[in-house]
A = this chain, B = another copy of it.
């Protein structure tokens, strides 16, 4: 039985991923904000760990605990994130810092000890969530703080892959355009929702990346843009 650690499990993509990995037979560990729960009923058992993911020490403790309990961590999905729109005018230093904390630090704090553990155990998969806006400057200039923060995710994956070349630990990035969530539908009521990408489609790609079918895949970056 394989074990996956999921952060941001209470979000839309998180929920889809939890359900998918449960269906695939994984033991699912999920981090939750201290004092919170997942916020939805799951079809199977999910072990939750409370942690403020911006607190490096706290995260290390939680990861150590998860490893002590479950031994092998086969996969880690680092799904926490948040958005801020606006170009240079809106992206003051405070906003950029906040975006970096939310989109990068929460991933880094978990990825670092997990990656090191996976190197020791001889393999593992880390999956990050990028953003098209970080790849395409003509988009990125409209959500500048967000684009900067998400660009760190791609660079981190690249550096982890260079670090883990010899072992079988890989870092992958799924890159959504617009995810079809209630929040986005509300924010863009006139958009063509059929062009967007369903959380399930992304969760399916993540599950594929974590399967034995991709043992030979390296430096994977999957753009899941749909027609958006």
Contacts and interface: CB of A to CB of B under 8 A. Distances in A.
A45 to B, nearest CB: 27
A220 B214 CA distance: 15
A102 interface: no
B204 A208 contact: no
A192 interface: no
Contacts of A144: 159, 163
Copies in the complex: 4
Contacts of A201: 215-216
A144 B163 CA distance: 10
Interface string A54-74: 001000000000000000000
Given A92-B56, A216-B197, A216-B224, A140 B112 contact: no
Contacts of A168: 227
Interface residues on A, range: 35 or more
Contact of A87 (B105, B163, B214, B215): B163
B226 A216 contact: yes
Dominant secondary structure at the A interface: helix
Interface in A77-129: 87-89, 91-94, 96-97, 100, 105, 108-109, 112, 115-116
Contacts of A227: 168
Contacts of A225: 216-219
Contacts of A141: 159, 162-163
Contacts of A87: 163
B159 A148 contact: yes
Contacts of A216: 197-198, 201, 224-226
A105 B97 contact: yes
8 contacts: A96-B105, A134-B155, A140-B159, A151-B155, A205-B214, A217-B225, A218-B226, A221-B221
Interface of A: 56, 87-89, 91-94, 96-97, 100, 105, 108-109, 112, 115-116, 134, 137-138, 140-141, 144, 147-148, 151-152, 155-156, 158-163, 168, 197-198, 201, 204-205, 208, 213-227
